[in-house]
Structure 1
Amino acid sequence: MRRAYLPMILLSLLLSCHQQARNTDIPIPDESVFNLTSSWHTEEGKEIKLKDLKGKVLVVVMIYTTCKVACPRLVADMKGIHDKVPAALQNKVQYVLVSIDPAHDTPDKLKSFAQSREMDSEEWTFLQGSTESVREFANVLAVKYKEISPMDFSHSNIISVFDPQGNLLYQQEGLGIDNAGTVASITAAAQ
């Protein structure tokens, strides 16, 4: 009699593993950032929607490549966060840098920026969108930015953490601050 249940148990386990591997099939909650329909270009020139990033914990910051003051610090903060997330969880985390200067930060420029900062591996994604999509995403993140002069912006310094379904979990505001809360939220969401 026990043998008759074995195939059903194996099938159940297989389906469970298959569903876990396909966590991108889980419905998107109403408050998810993945409900935004704008299109973006990666540093590789690939066109994506934010929902294409579903399934991983997202660590997101908005920068621009010609920034000389805040953005270098934000990039360093992102790298510091990356370095503190346990290695065993890195495959469950995506670090996303969104340009607030889509007119100048082309995919090629973003790729060059990523390479020069040793951020060109798979866990790093750089995005360029339209002015409207950048504005929409900034509003979701509560990031304020304003063009002061061509290629120069004033902007908020916020790093946001989203769970694999696109729900905002945590925000770190400031430059060079203690990132223990950010790392803890990433670690908890990635486990």
Structure 2
Amino acid sequence: MKTHALSPLRKAVALLALAFAPPVLATDIAVPAPPPAAKAESLDVQVPDVELVDQTGRKVRLWTDLVRGHTVAINFIFTRCKTICSPMTATLARVQQELGPKSDVRFISITLDVANDTPERMAKFAEPFKPGPGWSFLTGEPAKVKDALVALGGYVPDKEAHRPTVLVGNAVADSWTRVDGLGSPSRILEAVREARAASAGPSELGSTDSNASAQDAAAAKYFTNTELVDQNGKTHRFYEDLVRGRKVLINFAFTSCKGACSPITKHLADVQAKLGDRVGKDITMITLSVDPANDTPKSLSTFAKKFGVKKGWYFLTGSRENITLVLKKLGGYVDTPDAHNTTLLIGDAATGMWVKSPAMANVENIVHAVEHLNDPK
């Protein structure tokens, strides 16, 4: 069978990553930031005509049977995923529902765990999301699945490190973009509609200013302006007061912790010292309490002072409802404080670039991550 190839794969300018020692760039953030405007990452894609197997056990060719002549939305998941795969699939399900049962848009989910994901397991994973007939959950022979993942930009050596992105394209127009799979469904819908429109002729997107405004609105909606209280008793709206327009470092802790919290806070104090006066200006550091029932502003203040924390670093608590909402948005919620993760989130809401690092990673590497977060590869 002849493989159909579109234009050669080209790296998109907006695919930003960190080029430094692996210990810091552990993987992309599990709960990523809101997506950039749909046109921010325009690229060419080569679609191989590999034979895969869908959730019904039917053999299908990726190009011939699924992509050729259609607008498609493609994501990458695995059934044992405990973080982003289910929410991302739920977002795509909302997009499919919004498009309606007569839509000709094809949805494709390709496994990142071919050793485990049989057609039966893919079908069981898909069932709660009630996918329509135009949605294929694909597995198959390892080499063929890998060929598809590599060509579509979804391959990662460690499945846990995969990005929550959706590849949206129209093969007729050779129009392809990547958008955030955990952001608002409206952003994916916008990309789908633009891909469909591209097949009928060129279309103009909004101005840079309007795209930036849309990005800001999406970020505000995702992070929310939930009110939290810092160690000085001051109330802040989470997005507008602490995240908007800045690079941010976010970790999770609680003051009565007998394990990692104190060493991590001491370590991050060294990071703050290395970043210098930028913290409190264009960089914000945030520690979110995972024990709001016990962490008062006073106890957080006492905890922070032990480590010489300076301005620009906010130790946040609040009502259980409010702190839980923000923790869940950032993947930091746990049922019991002792079970909290020791991840450091590093991000820039303005660009939508987020990575995660072990909080105890080398100070120099963390600083490099912050300073070069938006550098092209």
2:294 counterpart (98, 104, 111): 104
Higher relative contact order (CA 8 A, sep 6+): 1
- How far apart, in 2, do the equivalents of 1:100 and 1:168 lie? 24
Q: Is the 8 A contact 1:172 1:179 kept in 2?
A: no
The structure with the largest strand share of the pair is 1
The answer for the alignment partner of 1:39 in structure 2 is 227
**Where do 5+ consecutive residues of structure 1 fail to align?**
1-25
> Per-residue deviation at 1:129?
2.0
Q: Is the 8 A contact 2:292 2:317 kept in 1?
A: yes
Alignment of 1:158 with 2:317, yes or no, is: no
Alignment of 1:84 with 2:268, yes or no, is: no
> Per-residue deviation at 1:132?
2.4
Alignment of 1:49 with 2:263, yes or no, is: no
One-letter amino acid matched to 1:41:
V
- How far apart, in 2, do the equivalents of 1:166 and 1:106 lie? 33
**Where do 5+ consecutive residues of structure 2 fail to align?**
1-211
Alignment of 1:93 with 2:283, yes or no, is: yes
Which has the larger Rg?
2
> Per-residue deviation at 1:32?
5.3
1:63-82 superposed matches below 5 A: 63-82=253-272
One-letter amino acid matched to 1:155:
H
The structure with the largest helix share of the pair is 1
For residues 33 and 181 of structure 1, do their structure 2 counterparts lie closer, same or farther at Cα, with a shift above 3 Å needed?
farther
One-letter amino acid matched to 2:236:
I
> Per-residue deviation at 1:37?
3.0
The answer for the alignment partner of 2:354 in structure 1 is 169
1:183 counterpart (328, 342, 367): 367
> Per-residue deviation at 1:75?
0.7
- How far apart, in 2, do the equivalents of 1:185 and 1:176 lie? 13
1:141-156 superposed matches below 5 A: 141-147=330-336, 153-156=338-341
Q: Is the 8 A contact 1:81 1:182 kept in 2?
A: yes
- How far apart, in 1, do the equivalents of 2:253 and 2:338 lie? 9
- How far apart, in 2, do the equivalents of 1:178 and 1:117 lie? 18
- How far apart, in 2, do the equivalents of 1:162 and 1:34 lie? 14
Q: Percent sequence identity over matched residues?
A: 19
> Per-residue deviation at 1:182?
2.9
RMSD: 2.7
One-letter amino acid matched to 2:231:
E
For residues 161 and 29 of structure 1, do their structure 2 counterparts lie closer, same or farther at Cα, with a shift above 3 Å needed?
farther
Partner-residue secondary structure (3-state), 1:129: coil
Which deviations, in whole Å up to 9, do the C-alpha atoms of 1:149-177 show, x marking residues without a partner? Answer: xxx5221111111215384522113x533
Partner-residue secondary structure (3-state), 2:338: strand
Partner-residue secondary structure (3-state), 1:153: helix
- How far apart, in 1, do the equivalents of 2:292 and 2:274 lie? 30
For residues 117 and 34 of structure 1, do their structure 2 counterparts lie closer, same or farther at Cα, with a shift above 3 Å needed?
farther
- How far apart, in 2, do the equivalents of 1:52 and 1:165 lie? 14
